Structure 1
């Protein structure tokens, strides 16, 4: 598989993590504004406020988004990934541009920025002009199409189908779903008023253990109990202890910012999301077919070149 394609697959994984938005910043992260009335709201008031935010955000269905993900350099693909653009939920629609060191690290030919378009459960990644030089695998086309559902169905692997479906559900974890998960925190707190990017907000924070996060993550319902248990085991093995989530909500009961961090032995993985222009129309134009190559077909070619005509994912199941 070419370096360019491996880079795109890595970027797609980062995209899924950013859009899932499962966790938030630790206490060492930089904060905007001040907590002038911290602790003044009762637990019932906090729950009521965030329930209102959940309903308002769910109804908005779209927003402009600025995201940043910082990963320790000790982890594979470490560095900074930034994304900006528009995102819609119910149904999922995205038009985002990615930049950052995590996109280009170790690959002098990697594009400095990459556009990602998502519509009808299909992701399209703009591989840049360099991709057109790889005629054998990409047929001179620069847009890579990733239809995860179709890939899983064609493979005939029921477990893979459930995992792929779960991935699609994860992509659907919009800001409303992030608030829903935060509401399940047993120690949800109101930290007071704060001004974020010139906007008056109320600041909230909650913590979830790995077990609690797994239990509340609806996307994992696509997996069997044994598969969820194995995933939980692997997450704990990685050294992740739990998640802290911080949320800033404006006077219209809409999230202005959600901060995200998973603490690992290699350092913290931080995700920061800023939202604006709720309800803005998300218009997505998918690239034309003559500029698009299907990842499924490319993997088939790779399998045939490796002497396994029936393989679409390789001998070990990896893509």
Structure 2
């Protein structure tokens, strides 16, 4: 497997888990330019009412155009910035996005500057570009069946976590709003203008325990599995999640930031939403232009076993 294929496969898997709500992480300290916050005026009941309306309206919208920026520290696989833009639907699960950024290209002169990623249910396809096609018999599209990959690993916990997360993708971004609603210290920061849209700005923090309790995508795990996952997350130095949300006067999210701090540094992800209800249509690449990541991993495993 080439360096670019390995790099993008890892980035795509991480992105899929992020989008599915498997880990409520993300964020960003780069707030909207020209933001002006007024004094907090909403009570807890008013905030709950406003965010519940946003949750319901977002769930009903089923799709939107999305711009996402993810920043990771160098200690996490080299780190860097990855940007994604395109259209995403959460009922049914569908995605057509283009990825760019240093997280994909750093240290690899053959890496494509941008990669188109399309997804239907649990199957993702990525256009790896001409460089990858040279090594893959002219096939430039990589297929990644995330559910099948998890099952192939033989790890029951990983399988249940990944497939359960994928099943819950229809709750994104509504899933993140639901998690924010459970924050015990939810605050209304005030009004703000984001990209020309008048919004109300909310902020909340959840501990790892609170996030795991709130995140429906983790409910597929048994109590013992959730306990082990919680232990591992805390072992990684993750303590809490900061979430910020800007909601328009139409009760729809305009921007969503969540910050996760770990012992390796902060992972920052910021999402901007527009054109709710935008149509998302995914056409799978022809088989003649597609190579399956699972088949590749199996061939590599067989070669290693035979000493080739």
TM-score, with length taken from structure 2: 0.92
Q: Which residue of the other structure, out of 157, 162, 165, is the alignment partner of 1:164?
A: 162
Give the conservation status (yes or no) of the 8 Å contact 2:32–2:193: no
Give the conservation status (yes or no) of the 8 Å contact 1:63–1:277: yes
Alpha-carbon shift at residue 241 of structure 1 (Å): 1.1
Give the conservation status (yes or no) of the 8 Å contact 2:32–2:195: no
Alpha-carbon shift at residue 90 of structure 1 (Å): 1.4
TM-score, with length taken from structure 1: 0.89
Cα 1:302/1:170, change in 2 over 3 Å: farther
**CA separation in 1, counterparts of 2:263 and 2:154?**
37
| Alignment partner, residue 8 of structure 1 | 8
**CA separation in 1, counterparts of 2:112 and 2:6?**
13
Deviates more, 1:166-175 or 1:121-130: 166-175
Cα 1:81/1:24, change in 2 over 3 Å: closer
| Alignment partner, residue 314 of structure 1 | none
Deviates more, 1:10-19 or 1:59-68: 10-19
Deviations along 1:235-273, one digit per CA (max 9) or x if unpaired, are 111111101100000010000000121112333211100
* 1:293 is the counterpart of 2:291: yes
| Alignment partner, residue 66 of structure 2 | 65
* 1:35 is the counterpart of 2:33: no
**CA separation in 2, counterparts of 1:15 and 1:23?**
11
Secondary structure in structure 1 of the residue aligned to 2:305:
coil
Unaligned runs of 5+ in 1: 310-319
**CA separation in 1, counterparts of 2:31 and 2:152?**
46
**CA separation in 2, counterparts of 1:174 and 1:93?**
11
Deviations along 1:88-123, one digit per CA (max 9) or x if unpaired, are 011110000000000111212111111110013210
Give the conservation status (yes or no) of the 8 Å contact 1:201–1:250: yes
Report the aligned-residue RMSD. Answer: 2.0
Secondary structure in structure 2 of the residue aligned to 1:306:
helix
Cα 1:170/1:12, change in 2 over 3 Å: farther
Secondary structure in structure 1 of the residue aligned to 2:260:
strand
| Alignment partner, residue 45 of structure 1 | 46
Deviates more, 1:57-66 or 1:68-77: 68-77
Q: Which residue of the other structure, out of 250, 253, 268, is the alignment partner of 1:252?
A: 250
* 1:209 is the counterpart of 2:207: yes
Deviations along 1:32-72, one digit per CA (max 9) or x if unpaired, are 41112x32011000000000010000000000000000111
Deviations along 1:194-231, one digit per CA (max 9) or x if unpaired, are 00000000000111001111111111122232222222
Moved over 6 A (4+): none
